[in-house]
């Protein structure tokens, strides 16, 4: 995907998860729309994002 981070074994960009959440959708809504993304990977992405934000403080 031209260097864009995607969920492992999918072509779904990780940014799509954040776009869904930013737009007011839920994690469940994202997972329903992208059934190839396992819940555990989505949670891992959110946790990593959280850790990166906390490291900047």
Chain segment 22-31, per-residue pLDDT in tens? 999 999 999 9
How high is the pLDDT of residue 51? 96
Residue 13 confidence class, pLDDT cut points 50, 70, 90 = very high
How high is the pLDDT of residue 2? 81
Q: Tokens in use for 17?
A: 């998860």
Q: What is the DSSP letter of 36?
A: T
Mean pLDDT of the chain: 95
* Angle 14-35-8 from CA coordinates, rounded to 5°: 40
* Angle 21-25-22 from CA coordinates, rounded to 5°: 30
Q: Which of 29, 52, 31 is nearest to 41 (CA)?
A: 31
């Amino acid at each position: 995907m031209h260097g864009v981070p995607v969920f492992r074994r999918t072509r779904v960009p990780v940014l799509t998860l954040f776009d869904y959440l930013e737009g007011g959708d839920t994690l469940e809504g994202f997972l329903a729309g992208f059934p190839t993304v396992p819940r555990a990977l989505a949670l891992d992405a959110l946790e990593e994002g959280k850790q990166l934000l906390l490291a900047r403080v």
